[in-house]
Structure 1
Amino acid sequence: MSVFTLGLNHTTAPLDLRGRFALSLEQLAPTLQTLRQRLVQPERPHGPEAAILSTCNRTELYCAAGPQLVRPALEWLAGVGGIGVDALSDHAYVLEDGAAARHAFRVASGLDSMVLGEPQILGQMKLAVREADAAGTLGSTLHQLFQRSFAVAKEVRTSTEIGAHSISMAAAAVRLAAQLFEDLREIRVLFVGAGEMIELAATHFAARAPARMAVANRTLERGEKLATRFGAEAIRLADLPARLHEFDVVVSCTASSLPLIGLGAVERALKLRRHRPMFMVDLAVPRDIEPEVARLDDIYLYTVDDLAAIVQNGGEKRQAAVAQAEAIIETGVQSFVHWLGERGSVPLIQALQAQVDAWRGNELARAQKLLARGARVEDVLDMLSKGLAQKMLHGTLAELHAADPAQREQLAATVSRLFLRGSAAAPLRGAPGDAL
Structure 2
Amino acid sequence: MQTYFDTNIFVWQFSGVPVTELCQHRFLLYNQDATQHLFEVAAGLDSLVLGEGQILAQVKQVVKNGQGVPGFGRKISELFKRAITTGKRVRTETNISSGSVSVSSAAVELALLKLPEYSSSTARVLIVGAGKMGKLVIRHLVAKGCKKMVVVNRTADRVAAIREELMDADIVYKPFSELLACAAQSDVIFTCTASKAPLFIKESVQALPSVNSEDGCRRLFIDISVPRNVEPSVAELEGAGVYNVDDLKEVVEANKEDRLRKKMEAETIIAEEVKQFEALKDSLETVPTIKKLRAYAERIRSAEVDKCLSKMGDDIPQNKKKAIYDLSLGIVNKLLHGPMQHLKCDGAENRTLSEILENMHALNRIFGLDTEMSVLEEKVRAKIEQNQKQSS
Larger helix percent:
1
TM-score for both structures, normalised by structure 1: 0.37
Larger radius of gyration: 2
